[in-house]
Amino acid sequence: MDHFPTNWGRPRNDAWDPYATYPIHQRPNNAPKDAFADGVQRTQQPIVTGTSVLAIKFKDGVMMAADNLASYGSLARFRDIQRLHPVGNHTVLGAGGDMSDFQYLQMILDELMVDEFAAADGHALGPAEIHNYLSEVMYARRSKMNPLWNSLLVGGFKDGKSFLSYVDLLGTTYSASTLATGYGAYIAQPLLRRAVEGREHELTADQARKILEDSMRVLFYRDARSLDQYQLATITKDGVEITESRKLETTWDFAEGIRGYGAQTQ
């Protein structure tokens, strides 16, 4: 029995069944076939991936951090890639997940920003608009079963207001004063919440920087797909600033006395 109602009552296929010898329920599948279906590739899994992105709100705006590693499975493949991307003068996009999908997003956003600039109508897209645009793109792609395999944070500051929101490959969105993607959602998010919740309007830039740096350090100690080189983005009324790569200070003294961790051979 053909259990697909879409096949029921279809005309028979002369190529397969020239004399209608098959009873209806045994007929070969006559549904129209896309000759190129086998050639269409869809993202079924991420390939070159970035790990966590962290972001918090503070007194003057939003701060975001991501390391510089793009992994190929367990191989630390690219160790100098940027996962924080400025979009216009008020917004930063941070990405975990597939890096080629992220680069594609950078391209369509750049196209969008050129179009908006060319309109020269006195309006500029802010973080809220860019986040909404991204959520529509991500949701549309998941609905085509062809997702862009990313977890994204959108942070920004415009018209005196901070903005921080998340969107992922399913089109799921949410906002909060602290956000973390990937492994960071498990390891860094509790630390960020303890340090930030209820103090969003008191934290200075220096304090915010320290909170993120400490969290990035914890992630480097525990997340095997992370790196001790990372960048920080700060978005305030003065615009977007993304630092050069910086290195985390780490200590490994504790390993000295532990068997199997240090240089002991026996």
Q: CA angle 163-241-218, nearest 5°?
A: 75
Count of residues of this chain found to bind another protein when the rule CB under 8 A is applied: 30
Figure out which of the listed residues 50, 97, 156, 171 binds another protein, where binding follows CB under 8 A: 171
Residue 138: name the closest of 104, 113, 182 by CA: 104
Nearer to another protein, 172 or 204 (CB): 172
Strands (E), 115-196: 150-158, 161-168, 173-175, 178-180
Residue 173 is a binding residue for another protein (CB under 8 A): yes
Indicate if 43 belongs to the active site: yes
Amino acid letter, residue 256: E
Q: Which of 127, 147, 156, 182 binds another protein (CB under 8 A)?
A: 147
* β-strand partners of 232: 65
* Catalytic site residue from 6, 21, 43, 172: 43
CA angle 125, 127, 129 (to 5 degrees): 55
Among 21, 44, 74, 265, which residue interacts with another protein (rule: CB under 8 A)?
44
Q: Rule CB under 8 A: choose which of 1, 35, 120, 263 binds another protein.
A: 120
Among 61, 62, 59, 63, which Cα is nearest to 200's?
Answer: 59
- Residue 189 touches another protein, criterion: CB under 8 A: yes
Which parts of this chain interact with another protein (CB under 8 A)? 42-45, 107, 110-111, 114-115, 117-120, 135, 139, 142-143, 145, 147, 166, 170-176, 185-186, 189
The set of catalytic residues is 43
